Homo-oligomer: A and B are copies of this chain.
Amino acid sequence: MIRRVAVVGGTHGNELTGVYLIKKFEQFPALLRRSSFETIVLLANPEAAASNRRYIDRDLNRCFAQADLANPALTTYEDRRAKAIVAQLGPREQPQVDVILDLHSTTSNMGLSLLPSSRHPFNLRLAAYLSALYPAVRVCCGVQCDQDTPLLRSLTPLGFTLEVGAIAQGVLDAHYFQQTEQLIHAILDYIDASNQGQPPPAPETLKVYQAIASVDYPRNDAGELHAMIHPQLQHRDYEPLHPGAPMFLTFSGETLPYEGENIVFPVFINEAAYYEKGIAMVLTEKQEMTIPNEC
């Protein structure tokens, strides 16, 4: 039984889809009202949103590791926000909400992506339901999908990051704004029906893109880029990348191939915020999962 759902946006202040959906929901709370549970909304990083920046001091979505939350010496704006959010949503061992939906956007061409907080059967069945309802939906599991991670969504095992794009930072895209809102409503309706013992039918299998590694840009000894995403790979998130296929293009025009031995499916290709994290893309492998019966 789900009692409380948190819809969170603006964890990154320049991802405007989430920021403005939260503003809309704050103005029209009836939109999120369902009979069997309560929904709360949260603008996670208001200072960053006001400044139209991803963060003020450090990435809020890397502040939720257990050790950091317990460390009183961490006092940046985002560390203080993380602690305030935990005070509101509850710590992992005593959550005050059952489900967290964290609304993000990406400059990568990832369409409508669901990143589940864990492989809990509830998440998988809901993801399978949404994939059947909206064929554009894709499900992507992080490397740390089942562990303690520094991500906001990891405060509860149930829920997702919604990652939509390609959307430039600081830009509102009406198409994706509407699609994200539609997805939120579908999730709330599903939870409501499930609470009432009538979970909508969902496929028994689910296609999951499981992250296996990240790849950094080629850099020189000083750490500066010396290549970009190859034009033939740009915008090709979730498409198969074959061994030997173009991966990077150096500034001098030389093509650097993918040197792995297996076909992979890159995501987060050319995400603006990941340059500083040393991530040019995340490689995934495609898995067909069977949904456990009881969930």
A interface residue numbers (CB < 8 A to B) = 20, 23-24, 28, 52-53, 107, 166-175, 177-178, 224-225, 228-231, 234, 249, 251-253, 270, 272-273, 275-276
Could you tell me the distance in whole angstroms from the C-beta of A289 to the nearest C-beta in chain B? 32
Contact yes or no, A234 B20, CB < 8 A = no
A252 to B30, CA, bound (A): 13
Number of identical protomers: 2
A272 to B14, CA, bound (A): 10
Q: Is the interface of A mostly helix, strand, loop or mixed?
A: loop
A52 to B224, CA, bound (A): 13
Contact flag A169-B168 (CB < 8 Å), given A251-B20, A276-B52: yes
Contact yes or no, A174 B276, CB < 8 A = no
Residues of B within 8 A of A231 (CB): 174-175, 178
Contact flag A172-B229 (CB < 8 Å), given A251-B20, A251-B24: yes
Q: Of all chain B residues, which has the CB nearest A270? A: B171
Residues of B within 8 A of A270 (CB): 171-173
A229 to B171, CA, bound (A): 10
Contact yes or no, A234 B175, CB < 8 A = yes
Contact yes or no, B272 A168, CB < 8 A = yes
